[in-house]
Amino acid sequence: MFSILQRIAKVGNVTEPAPDAGDEPQQQAQTIQREILDILGQALAIRAVDAGSCNGCELEIHALNNPYYNLEGLGMKFVASPRHADMLLVTGPVTRNMEIALVRTFEAVPAPKLVVAVGDCAACGGIFGESYASRGAVSNVIPVDVVVPGCPPPPLEILRGILSAVQRARGLR
Amino acid sequence: MLLSCFDTRLESLPAPLPIRHGLVDAEGWRNAAEAVRAGGARLVSLWATDRRPLGEAYVVNAAYAIPEGLVWIGLPLADEDEAYPDLTAHFPTAGRMQRAVRDLLGLHAAGARDQRPWLRHGTWPPDFFPLRHDAEPSSRFPEFGGESYAFVPVDGEGVHEIPVGPVHAGIIEPGHFRFSTVGEKVLRLEERLGYVHKGIEKRFESLAPAEAHRLAGRVSGDSTVAYAWAYCMALESAADLQIPQRAAALRAMMLERERVANHLGDLGALGNDAAFAFGLAQFSRLKEDWLRASSAAFGHRFMMDRVVPGGVACDVDTAALTAMIDHCKALGAEVEGLRKVYDGHAGLQDRFLTTGRVTPELATRLGLCGLAGRASGQPADLRCDHPTPPYDALAVQRAVRRNGDVAARVNVRFDELAESLRLIATLCARLPEGAIATPLTRVPAAARGAGWVEAWRGQIFVGLELDADGAIRRCHCHDPSWHNWPLLEYAVIGNIVPDFPLINKSFNLSYSGQDL
CB atoms within 10 A of CB A48: 25
- B223, B451 Cβ separation under 8 angstroms: no
Looking at domain B2-110, what is its CATH homologous superfamily? NADH:ubiquinone oxidoreductase Nqo5 subunit (3.30.460.80)
Q: Does B506 touch chain A (CB under 8 A)?
A: no
Q: Does B300 touch chain A (CB under 8 A)?
A: no
Q: What is the reported pLDDT for A171?
A: 67
Q: What is the reported pLDDT for B177?
A: 96
Among B198, B202, B221, select the one facing A55 at the smallest CB separation. B221
Angle at A36 between CA A33 and CA A42, to 5 degrees: 100
pLDDT tens by residue, B408-467: 999 999 999 999 999 999 999 999 999 999 999 888 888 999 999 999 999 999 999 999
Q: Does B148 touch chain A (CB under 8 A)?
A: no
Q: What is the reported pLDDT for A28?
A: 61
Segment B281-294 shows an average pLDDT of 96
CB contact under 8 A, B285 and A14: yes
Name the pLDDT band for A15 (thresholds 50, 70, 90).
confident
Per CATH, B2-110 and B243-439 having the same topology is answered no
CB contact under 8 A, A95 and B198: yes
Q: Does B511 touch chain A (CB under 8 A)?
A: yes
**Overall size of chain B counted in residues:** 516
Instruction: Give CA–CA dist B427/B438, Å, rounded.
Output: 20
CB contact under 8 A, B171 and A60: no
Residue of B132, B144, B171, B267 to mutate when probing chain A, most A C-beta within 10 A: B171
Residue B492 has pLDDT above 80, yes or no: yes
Looking at the DSSP bridge assignments, the partners of residue B71 are B20, B64
Taking one residue from A and the other from B, the number of pairs with CB-CB distance under 8 angstroms is 159
* Contact residues, chain A, for B201 at CB < 8 Å: none
Q: What is the reported pLDDT for B165?
A: 85
Q: Within B7-131, where are the H helices? A: 26-38, 94-105
CB contact under 8 A, A101 and B124: no
pLDDT tens by residue, B90-111: 999 999 999 999 999 999 999 8
Instruction: Give CA–CA dist B342/B307, Å, rounded.
Output: 35
Looking at the DSSP bridge assignments, the partners of residue B59 are B49, B76
Nearest CA to B366 out of B83, B95, B29, B56 is that of: B95
Chain mean pLDDT for chain B:
95
> What radius of gyration, in Å, describes the C-alpha atoms of chain B?
22
Instruction: Give CA–CA dist B225/B235, Å, rounded.
Output: 15
pLDDT tens by residue, B223-245: 999 999 999 999 999 999 999 99
Segment B37-48 shows an average pLDDT of 94
* Contact residues, chain A, for B167 at CB < 8 Å: 49, 82, 101, 105
Read off the DSSP letter of residue B44: E
Distance from CA of A75 to the nearest CA of B (A): 18
Q: What is the reported pLDDT for B4?
A: 83
CB atoms within 10 A of CB A12: 8
CB contact under 8 A, B218 and A128: yes
Amino acid at A66: N
Residue B165 φ/ψ, nearest 5 degrees: 95, 175
Within a 13 Å sphere around the CA of B134, how many CA atoms are in the beta-carbon half?
A: 5
Segment B8-15 shows an average pLDDT of 90
Q: Give the Å distances, CA to CA, from B450 to B49, B236, B249, B303, B455.
A: 14, 9, 20, 22, 15
Give the β-pairing of B42-50 and B472-478.
unpaired
Amino acid at B92: P
Give the sheet arrangement for strand A87-91, strand by strand. Answer: A76-78, A44-50, A87-91, A114-118, A146-148
* Contact residues, chain B, for A14 at CB < 8 Å: 285
- B458, B484 Cβ separation under 8 angstroms: yes
- Residue A106 backbone zone (phi > 0: left; psi -120 to 50: alpha; other: beta): alpha
Domains and CATH numbers, chain A: 43-172 (3.40.50.12280)
* Contact residues, chain B, for A4 at CB < 8 Å: 278, 341
Q: Helices B481-491 and B500-507 meet at what angle, rounded to 10?
A: 150
Name the pLDDT band for B2 (thresholds 50, 70, 90).
confident
CB contact under 8 A, B198 and A105: no
Name the pLDDT band for A22 (thresholds 50, 70, 90).
low
Angle at B171 between CA B174 and CA A53, to 5 degrees: 50
Residue of B195, B198, B288 to mutate when probing chain A, most A C-beta within 10 A: B198
- B320, B249 Cβ separation under 8 angstroms: no
Q: Does B221 touch chain A (CB under 8 A)?
A: yes
Segment B397-405 shows an average pLDDT of 96
* Contact residues, chain A, for B215 at CB < 8 Å: 127
pLDDT tens by residue, B181-235: 999 999 999 999 999 999 999 999 999 999 999 999 999 999 999 999 999 999 9
Residue of B nearest to A79 (CA): B169
Instruction: Give CA–CA dist B374/B403, Å, rounded.
Output: 10
Residue A26 has pLDDT above 60, yes or no: no
CB contact under 8 A, B288 and A98: no
Residue A47 has pLDDT above 60, yes or no: yes
pLDDT tens by residue, B362-393: 999 999 999 999 999 999 999 999 999 999 99
Nearest CA to B470 out of B203, B207, B137 is that of: B207
Q: Find the range with the poorest average confidence among A5-9, A24-28, B350-354, B506-510.
A: A24-28
Name the pLDDT band for B8 (thresholds 50, 70, 90).
confident
Residue A27 has pLDDT above 70, yes or no: no
Q: Which H, E and C letters describe A64-132, residue by residue?
A: CCCCCCCHHHHCEEECCCHHHCCEEEEECCCEHHHHHHHHHHHHHCCCCCEEEEECHHHHHCCCCCCCC
Name the pLDDT band for B6 (thresholds 50, 70, 90).
confident
Name the pLDDT band for B169 (thresholds 50, 70, 90).
confident
Residue B187 φ/ψ, nearest 5 degrees: -85, -40
CATH number 1.10.150.120 is the correct assignment for the domain at B243-439: no
Q: What is the reported pLDDT for A29?
A: 64
Name the pLDDT band for B349 (thresholds 50, 70, 90).
very high
Residue A23 has pLDDT above 60, yes or no: no
Nearest CA to B406 out of B268, B499, B278 is that of: B499
Domains of chain B, by residue range, sit at 2-110, 201-241+443-478, 243-439
A10 CB-near residues (< 8 Å, 6+ apart): none
Instruction: Give CA–CA dist B373/B481, Å, rounded.
Output: 11
B143 CB-near residues (< 8 Å, 6+ apart): none
Q: What is the reported pLDDT for B3?
A: 85
Residue of A nearest to B262 (CA): A59
* Contact residues, chain A, for B196 at CB < 8 Å: 50, 52-53, 92, 95, 97-98
